[in-house]
Amino acid sequence: MTAKPEHYDVIRKPIITEKATMVSNANAVVFEVAMAANKPQIKEAVEALFNVKVKAVNTSITKGKVKKFRGHTGTRNDVKKAYVTLEAGSAIDVSTGL
């Protein structure tokens, strides 16, 4: 399986936070993905880009916060996250990058 350019449009970047690091103990990785991406597209992209077998994909949408900057009110962008659970024996090291 070769990586198509569309796969890079589906997966934007890995999310490296304290919660995402705790999830990695359960053989899972967290990615920021495109808002229009669905679970089969995410699974196909991860398998093609990282050469691993995906067991399950769970997604969540975080609504953007309302923040003030120099007296003006603005809204951060909405973010879609994908929690990708990998099969036993598969691993992705997100700290090294693509």
d(CA 23, CA 6): 27
The fold adopted by the segment(s) 5-86 is Alpha-Beta Plaits (3.30.70)
Q: What angle do CA 60, 42, 39 make, to 5 degrees?
A: 60
Q: Does position 28 have pLDDT exceeding 70, yes or no?
A: yes
Q: Are 41 and 4 in contact (CB under 8 A)?
A: no
CB atoms under 10 Å from CB of 58, counted, come to 13
Four-point Cα dihedral 18, 20, 22, 27, nearest 10 = -160
The pTM of this model reads 0.84
Domain ranges for the chain, please list them. Answer: 5-86
Give 57-82 pLDDT, tens digit per residue.
999 999 999 999 899 999 999 999 99
